[in-house]
A = this chain, B = another copy of it.
Amino acid sequence: MYAVIMAGGGGTRLWPHSRRARPKPFLPLVGSESLLQATVRRLTPLIEPADVFVVADEVQLPLVRQQVPALPADHLLGEPVGRNTAVAVALAALLVERPADEVMVVLPADHRVRDEAAFRAALATAADSAAHGSLVTLGVVPTGPATGYGYIVAAPDEARVPEEDAARRVGRFVEKPSRERAQQLLADQAGVWWNAGIFVWRRDAVLSALERHAPEVIGPLRAGLAAGDPPARIYADLPARSIDYALMEPASVEGGVRVVPVDAGWSDIGDWKALHAELAAALPAGAAGVVAVGRAEDLGSSDILVYSAGGRLVVTVGLRDTIVVDTPDVILVCSAERTQDVRAIVERLAAAKEDEYL
């Protein structure tokens, strides 16, 4: 059993703390470890660092090496450019030469999990199911009608057969829904989970599923690698596809996908509001939701996150539902209801070629 951690992606919704040069997986957002470091550590003892691989933008490989020195140097796979998760998965499935029937766990590098033992137990259950040949995904037990995640819905007509396989068959994947649709999903279905982008499968199973459902991804990639083409040339023509869209959705239609529920205090820390919720959960009673990271003073605020990574004193007075982020060169002050719009600010700065802030 081995793990492939995907450490790509810009993470622009945690800007200005997350930057191109140091994106979200490399930041210590909760506690002193970076999210990548926590991702590697929480796999042990189920999967030791000697069996962990990381796919990242090639410019970030020195940072990966620095943060996770326990990984063998040839376990770091660099991409010349991000082409989304289907390409990253295909690259790892092709390049990491493990036995065909060995189970491969694929996980993003930028998640937070509170109950790590429960998380590993779910992975172990998923690995058992995957050993039979299924493509298995973890399904996070929902805590509310979130609109920031895709949903996984169990096949409605399936009688669960725990003797044979602890995982349930997936009926379909639902893309990020509206609030109303999310509420409806939770009300209608017994088997509904959040899609955490965590997958467990045999190496031969994912390779043959990619050949079947995503030949436009794995075909040119395999051919380019076999020909020894430069990575930049191979990637230039590859289509950017998510693994959900390219593989899991079509495979689920054919009944080949299973889901293992996990209830382990999972969060993808998708934006500043999610980080606030994560950190506020650890506050003592009476703290009024006032979370401060770094040097901060508050007078009479409630439900705020002050994240001071710039070394300055941040003073807040009488705020509600507000995020304040201080970095050495940028300060963000954002309504907690608008944290998804931080991405739009990053896009505006990119359009204006203000690269120093990206």
A46 contacts B by Cβ under 8 Å: no
Q: Are A324 and B331 in contact (CB under 8 A)?
A: yes
Question: A308 to B331, alpha carbons, bound, how many Å?
Answer: 10
The count of residues in chain A whose C-beta lies closer than 8 Å to any C-beta of chain B is: 35
**A306-336 near B? 1/0 per residue, CB < 8 Å:** 0010001111111110101010111111110
CB-nearest residue of chain B to A297: B345
Instruction: Give the residues in chain B near A225, CB-CB below 8 Å.
Output: none
Complex interface: chain B residues within 8 A of A308 (CB): 331
Q: A289-319 vs B: 1/0 string, CB under 8 Å?
A: 0000000010110000000100011111111
A319 is contacted by which of B313, B322, B326, B330 (Cβ under 8 Å)? Answer: B322
Judged by a CB distance under 8 angstroms, whether A338 is at the interface is: yes
Q: Are B335 and A318 in contact (CB under 8 A)?
A: yes
With A and B bound together, what is the CA distance between A80 and B103 in angstroms? 79
Contact: B326 with A331, CB < 8 Å?
yes
A316 in contact with B333 (CB, 8 Å): yes
User: Please, how many angstroms separate the alpha-carbon atoms of A317 and B330 in the complex?
Assistant: 13
| Contact assessment for A312 and B297 in the assembled complex, using a CB-CB cutoff below 8 Å | no
Q: Which residues of B contact A315 (CB under 8 A)?
A: 16, 330-334, 345
Does A21 sit within 8 A of B, measured CB to CB?
no
Contact check, B331 vs A331: say whether CB atoms are below 8 A apart. Answer: yes
Which one of B317, B322, B341 contacts A299 once the chains associate, using CB atoms below 8 Å?
B341
| A307: min CB distance to chain B, Å | 11
Name which residue of chain B comes closest to A348, CB basis: B297
Set B331, B334, B344: member contacting A313, Cβ < 8 A: B331
CB-CB nearest in chain B for A330: B313
* Given the contacts A312-B329, A331-B326, A357-B313, A318 and B300 also touching, CB distance less than 8 Å: no
Task: Output the nearest chain B residue to A314 by Cβ-Cβ distance.
Answer: B331
A322 cross-chain contacts in B, Cβ below 8 A: 319, 322, 333
Most buried by B among A308, A318, A338, A357: A318
Say yes or no for A337: interface residue by CB 8 A criterion. yes
Closest to A315 in B: B332
Closest residue of chain B to A342, judged by CB? B317
Is A253 an interface residue when CB atoms closer than 8 A count as contact? no
- With a CB–CB cut-off of 8 A, which chain B residues contact A313? 329-331, 357
- A-side interface residues toward B, CB under 8 Å? 16, 297, 299-300, 308, 312-320, 322, 324, 326, 328-335, 337-339, 341-342, 344-345, 348-349, 357
